[in-house]
Amino acid sequence: MELLRNLILCLACVSVAACAGLAVRDKAPQEAWEKLARGEAQSLLVQFDAAASKSAALSALPAGEIEVLKDYDALPMMYLRFRSTHALQNLLAQPSVVRAFVNRREVPMPGKPAQ
């Protein structure tokens, strides 16, 4: 009976960990994960839940895994360069990180000049 209880507990922990992993991977575009897996560094806009949480989330990571390209002081966002899937996964696992986006040039509205 003890063995069965421990097995059920172990399976529950694995299920929760798998679901958490899926949630982390869903916070960034699939193309970013694929390029990082091929060894290509990726620059992403990262949204935090509050501006104050940016430095706390970054300080929890080993030095050199992420390069800050731009810190938007008035916004809870940073433009960061990731060199590995491990670095991206570690940052996205932080509760204060909402999502990461690929920085794309916006297409101008019809009739508006391109910038």
For 27-102, CATH number?
Answer: 3.30.70.80
- The pLDDT tens digits of the residues spanning 24-76 come to 999 999 999 999 999 999 999 999 998 778 988 888 888 888 999 999 988 99
Beta bridge partners of 82: 42, 66
For the chain, the residue count is: 115
How far is it, in rounded angstroms, from Cα 58 to Cα 37? Answer: 21
- When pLDDT is cut at 50, 70 and 90, the band that residue 92 belongs to is very high
